[in-house]
Structure 1
């Protein structure tokens, strides 16, 4: 473990509960997820923090997942002033206008079909890959899509928790 990962995790472990809850809310908007992670502090290492995050995602109810998804902006429209949102959606940053328009259309179709934002771990994905994933997932059943959403949320949370533990 590098010194920076220890210091980031140590800072998180040392935060007052309200401040730690606010930090966790930036990772995942589900209050249940955050409560579960708060209850596990202090974490001895990043692996323990990630394992707790995975377990908390697995335990989320449908309502908890809805709350978590509400904290994510649509793909192609990162939240203004949010560097994490912009970093995670970097693949859409230089996308041509035609692709942006198609993503807007697909996002709207997805939201109409499933009743929530299209949630995907966009880190490292190109605009075309994100579009293709959205196209593919539009054909899923609601049950299948809920499984994928949970898995994608877990990936996103792991990336964000790792950055937190590293002090980024």
Structure 2
């Protein structure tokens, strides 16, 4: 898809498929497609973020399952893999100590919360992501779920904007 007009005019099943690369939660794509047509990109992106923030935890977990660990290099040529590689491009400049700390932090996080650590990597340095990982390891379950949902909404908004820009 290359424009908002394309998105608004796309058959529903194709629009849903395109949106799944932005957020794999089924409710997300269904709600966004049901709201078409959108008058401008900003309205679509705002709605995408709003829907993502309102997802029930079970749907957030579905979306999380599609995200790689911070520091992993997603393979393949799917839209989601390409988005993840772009979003995590700052990791290419990470030193060995930061990479090792992220690997260990990811393992501790997954043992504690039973899902992948999710953070909007775009615009953040490896050191910033590591600091956030360490900070969030101290969260309780409820606080962390809220942070994960917020990060998912930010990532989703960036991906939807890219989809129609």
The aligned residue for residue 61 of structure 2 is: 66
Aligned equivalents of 2:73 and 2:160: distance in 1?
19
Structure 1 stretches (4+) deviating beyond 6 angstroms? none
Residues 13-28 of structure 1 aligned to structure 2 (within 5 Å): 13-28=8-23
Aligned equivalents of 2:163 and 2:124: distance in 1?
21
The aligned residue for residue 142 of structure 1 is: 141
Paired residues in the alignment total 160
Aligned equivalents of 1:79 and 1:44: distance in 2?
34
Q: Is 1:120–2:119 an aligned residue pair? A: yes
Normalised to the residue count of structure 1, the TM-score between the two structures is 0.91
Aligned equivalents of 2:8 and 2:147: distance in 1?
31
Q: How far has the Cα of 1:121 moved from its partner? A: 0.5
Residues 97-136 of structure 1 aligned to structure 2 (within 5 Å): 97-136=96-135
**Preserved contact between residue 50 and residue 153 of structure 2 (Cα < 8 Å):** no
Aligned equivalents of 2:131 and 2:137: distance in 1?
10
**Preserved contact between residue 103 and residue 131 of structure 1 (Cα < 8 Å):** yes
Aligned equivalents of 2:131 and 2:114: distance in 1?
20
The aligned residue for residue 73 of structure 2 is: 78
Q: How far has the Cα of 1:54 moved from its partner? A: 2.3
Q: Give 5+ residue unaligned stretches, structure 2.
A: none
| Structure 1 vs Structure 2 CA RMSD | 1.2
Out of 34, 46, 51, the position equivalent to 1:51 is 46
Normalised to the residue count of structure 2, the TM-score between the two structures is 0.92
Q: How far has the Cα of 1:145 moved from its partner? A: 0.4
